[in-house]
Chain A
Amino acid sequence: MVQPRTAEAGGPLPVAAEGAFSPAWYRPLLHFVRGKPLGTASAVVLALMVLIAVLAPLLSPFDPLVHDNAYELQGPSSQHVFGTDQYGRDVLSRIIYGARTSLYVGTGATLLGIGLAVVIGTASAYFGGAFDYAVQRVVDTVQAIPALILLITILVILGPSLTNVIIALSIRSAMVTSRVVRGSALAVLAQPFIDAGRLLGASHQRLIGRYIVPNIMAPVIVLASINFGGNILAEASLSFLGYGVPPPTASWGGMLSAEGRAYMFAAPWLLIAPTVVLTLVVFASNMFGDALRDVLDPRLRGAGNSAAT
């Protein structure tokens, strides 16, 4: 009697009954949800964050920027669920709008960074030779400079603003991620169908765009999910030091910065709310990235590519 093939971590693969609902994406999704419960929960948390960020004007009880001198440094109450800060701004509203900042930075920097990384990495792998060597030396250098130092230097050059934070973050992550992309592209380039394409007379653009890039999407997706959490954390660190999103824009890292620290001794709730949301979002994106990587490309599991870094 032949046993149904058992999935490594999800029990037997779901078998569709006659006439059951079964579009192409349903089975892999079910597999993921069954096999990676923690990853699924993390994905839900991240989706919630996106929802909150998008619906911020509807959800937030107060305007996060409006000072209210009558209500400074109030503890949690029925009116201000998370209390107020030193200017009387509602902390809950600032947390909700802070989700917006994190989302902008997270998606913007990740998309831009990954896009650039794919371009740089595939070009480096495809053209090879001196071009590849030069690009890799620059990547080495950028990787050697600690992230925060590089980001602060770039932001000093560009000036503080949300857009510039996104640009700075994408420059760095593009450089560092292009390494992994280059590795994957090199692996794809070694395969025979690339030679077949060349013999058919495919142009450079066609070879790169149609032959290489579609085959490296799995590691790229994993890298994107890992970078998402990293970028949010980096933006928080930058805002904490005062080089990130300029005040008064709400930012979770900024809420913990030196500006408010003096008041935290009297008002500890100023500290708890941003810390909890930051931890939650970083945790969720780490877990989701790990789960995605386990499913899509276990070969990426290694010292440098874990969401743990």
Chain B
Amino acid sequence: MTRYIARRLLGMIPTFLVLLFLAVAMLRFIPGDIVDLMLEGQSGAHNVNRTLLEHRLGLDQSLPGQYVHYTAGVLHGDLGRSLWNQQDVAGLIAQRLPPTLEMVGLAVLISLILAVPIGTISAVRQDSVLDYALRSAAILGLSVPNFALATMVLIFPALWFHWTPPLNYKSLTADPLANLGQLIIPALILGVGLSASIVRLLRATMLEVLREDFIRTAWSKGLRERTIVLRHCARNALIPVVTLFGIQLAFLISGSVIMEQIFAVPGVGRLLLDAISQRDYPVVQGVTVIVALWVLVINLVVDVSYVYLDPRLRLA
């Protein structure tokens, strides 16, 4: 097991290096001279002259040199400085990470709370009216674009009940109720979309597991339906769901970028969008690297947990 983890960790390193290379090279792909662009006043960088800007952006070095410099920096936790306010990029990201993490975490929780019962019922009562109703609701849930749903949540309660969702962020430690009050709605929207995928997968895997011989043995032993479904089926059926999370995490983060924009959550997604519109390239680089790294790590965790959850894989 530890060998598997070690192997996967080592395998992640080349990918991480490629990621850093893309982040560094990204600046050079921008057509036209970006230094000229920025000096023309399109960015927030002020009080800088051309050489200083080039140095800040790392353009005075060659590409391999800049790559080595940036990688060395990353390994020390230094992601450069924002052009807008000279703040340390790593610190900026660390500041904005908690709201995003909280929102995504809540979304995952909500999706599980919704999807596991619905998927199970759908599978156990296959082809019943309830099954079709639940499945249709699930598919509808993932067909409505999340930004459209979010806009509807913003507009219609305002029209009908004169109520808008709270748009001021309070941190979890300072004011938990206000914090949850703001984050629960975007988390719900994200969670509903995610739960739709989980319902479909869970239903499919549960149906397969229910047909297995050991379940038939359990029936013939006279066990109650509840025991069979909960104790024997659920465990097996949930394993692919864990893998699904790894795949969906990237989608969740994309979704959270949109949600943060609509619901004014000061998270990493908003940071990225603001940095892009301000041409604050070091921040864009830093956020891309951190977010992608996070996805890679979560995928690693998911793969490792997969081996842990399914004893058959431990012997492989």
B316 within 8 A of A: no
Q: A148-B257, A153-B288 are known contacts. Are A256 and B251 too (CB-CB below 8 A)?
A: no
Among B154-162, B184-192, B214-222, B228-236, the stretch that binds chain A is: B154-162
Q: Are A279 and B276 in contact (CB under 8 A)?
A: no
Q: Are A145 and B155 interface neighbours, CB within 8 A?
A: no
A residues 68-108 touching B (CB-CB < 8 Å): none
Near B by CB (< 8 A), chain A positions 139-173 give 140-141, 143-149, 152-153, 156-159
Tally inter-chain residue pairs, CB-CB below 8 A.
144
Do residues B143 and A157 form an inter-chain contact, with CB atoms below 8 A?
no
Complex Cα spacing A254 to B241, Å: 34
Beta-carbon contact of B257 and A149 below 8 Å: yes
Instruction: Mark interface residues in B46-89 (1 if CB within 8 Å of A CB, else 0).
Output: 00000000000000000000000000000000000000000000
Q: Does A26 contact B (CB under 8 A)?
A: no
Classify chain A: how many residues form its interface, as a range.
35 or more
Residues on B with C-beta less than 8 A from A271 are 148, 151-152, 155
A194 at the interface (CB under 8 A from B): no
Whether the Cβ atoms of A308 and B200 lie closer than 8 Å is yes
Distance (whole angstroms) from the CB of A177 to the closest CB of chain B: 14
Contact residues on B (Cβ < 8 Å of other chain), bracket: 35 or more
Partner of B196, one of A141, A303, A308: A308
Q: B145 touching A279 by the CB < 8 A rule?
A: yes
> Which residues B178-217 have CB closer than 8 A to chain A?
196-197, 200-201, 204
Give min CB distance, B12 to chain A, whole Å: 9
Query: In the assembly, what is the distance between CA of A287 and CA of B296, in Å?
Result: 30
Assuming the A-B contacts A137-B14, A146-B257, are A275 and B248 also in contact, with contact meaning beta carbons closer than 8 angstroms in the complex?
no
Closest Cβ–Cβ distance, residue A230 to chain B (whole Å): 10
Smallest CB separation, B156 vs chain A (Å): 7
In the complex, chain B residues whose CB is within 8 Å of the CB of A304:
247
A149 and B151 within 8 A (CB): no
A304 to B251, CA, bound (A): 12
Q: How far is the CA of A174 from the CA of B251 in the complex (A)?
A: 17
Tell me which of A53-61, A210-218, A235-243 binds B: A235-243
Report B22-42 CB contacts with A as 1/0, cut-off 8 Å.
Answer: 100010011100000000000
Q: Kindly list chain B residues whose C-beta atoms are within 8 Å of the C-beta of A287.
A: 139
Contacts of B158 in A (CB 8 A): 265
- Judge whether B43 is part of the interface by a CB distance below 8 angstroms: no
B244 CB-CB contact with A under 8 Å: yes
- Evaluate contact between A137 and B18: CB separation under 8 angstroms: yes
Q: Which B residues are in CB contact (< 8 Å) with A264?
A: 151, 155
Chain A residues in 8 Å Cβ range of B22:
141
Whole-angstrom distance from the CB of B221 to the nearest CB of chain A? 31
Q: Which of B155, B240, B258 contacts A265 (CB 8 A)?
A: B155
What are some 16 contacts across the A-B interface (CB < 8 A)?
Answer: A141-B22, A144-B15, A146-B253, A147-B254, A149-B257, A156-B276, A233-B145, A236-B145, A237-B258, A268-B159, A279-B140, A286-B142, A286-B143, A308-B139, A308-B142, A308-B200
| Interface, chain B (partner A; CB < 8 A) | 14-15, 18-19, 22, 26, 29-31, 139-140, 142-145, 147-148, 151-152, 154-156, 158-159, 196-197, 200-201, 204, 240, 243-244, 247-248, 250-251, 253-254, 257-258, 261, 272-273, 276, 284, 287-288, 291-293, 295-296, 299
The 4 closest A-B pairs by CB, nearest first: A148-B254, A283-B143, A146-B253, A275-B148
